[in-house]
Amino acid sequence: MSSTPAQLRFKNPKIFVCDIQDKFRNVIYEFDKIVLTTQKVLNFAKALSIPVVTTTQTSAKLGPTVPSLAELLPSPPHDKTRFSMFIPSVVADLAPGSEIALVGIESHICITQTALDLRDAGHKVYVLADGVSSCNPGEVGVALDRLRSEPGITVTSSESWMYECVGDASHPAFKSLIGVVKGSMADTKQVWQSLPPGSKI
């Protein structure tokens, strides 16, 4: 008797990367740690061919996505003036009921508004606590506390989301997942030691 091949737990996973631009490097709390987490999830996305959506906020004034992330992006960012990533060019090809992991800045502005808009449009939203930040670290905890209370929005960690996405150690993607997790282990530990208390799960 042949066994049924393992399926990904998530049917339509996506990764949204919000406004991680070099102009913000010196004003966002632990900006470099957010970049490390985003690199990890982008490497995961590449290994599993998960679609990635990236935005920049008024790039003519605030510049492009940071180079270390830009080189990992499968397509150019969508530029926007709205705080939310929920803009026509982003949602045009978004499958209904997608499972969306959200990273970027700022937690209490663009991340919050994007999460609410995606949830209201029927998507499952996962805000990765180790992948979001703000200028003031206190804002991170306030934003994540609010989002935890919102139905349809889950605050979790990047590693938890990646494992949930795969869902089964017998899936062929599990080997790639382990490679990403092991390859970023030191960075992950460094990130969690640096983030504000409100970011803790």
Query: For the chain, how big is the Rg over CA atoms in Å?
Result: 16
Of the residues 18, 19, 33, 117, only one is catalytic, namely: 19
200 part of the active site: no
Q: How far apart are CA 81 and CA 134, in angstroms?
A: 18
Helix count and strand count (H, E) for the chain = 9, 6
Residues 6 or more apart whose CB falls under 8 angstroms from that of 191 comprise 30, 33, 36, 37, 130
Q: Is 110 a catalytic residue?
A: yes
Catalytic residue, chosen from 14, 33, 40, 110, is: 110
How far is residue 161 CA from its own chain's centroid?
A: 9
Q: Are 142 and 117 in contact (CB under 8 A)?
A: no
From first CA to last CA, the distance across the chain in angstroms is: 43
Helix, strand, or coil (residue 71): coil
| List 33, 80, 117, 130, catalytic entry | 80
Q: Is 19 a catalytic residue?
A: yes
User: Which residues participate in catalysis according to the annotation?
Assistant: 19, 80, 110
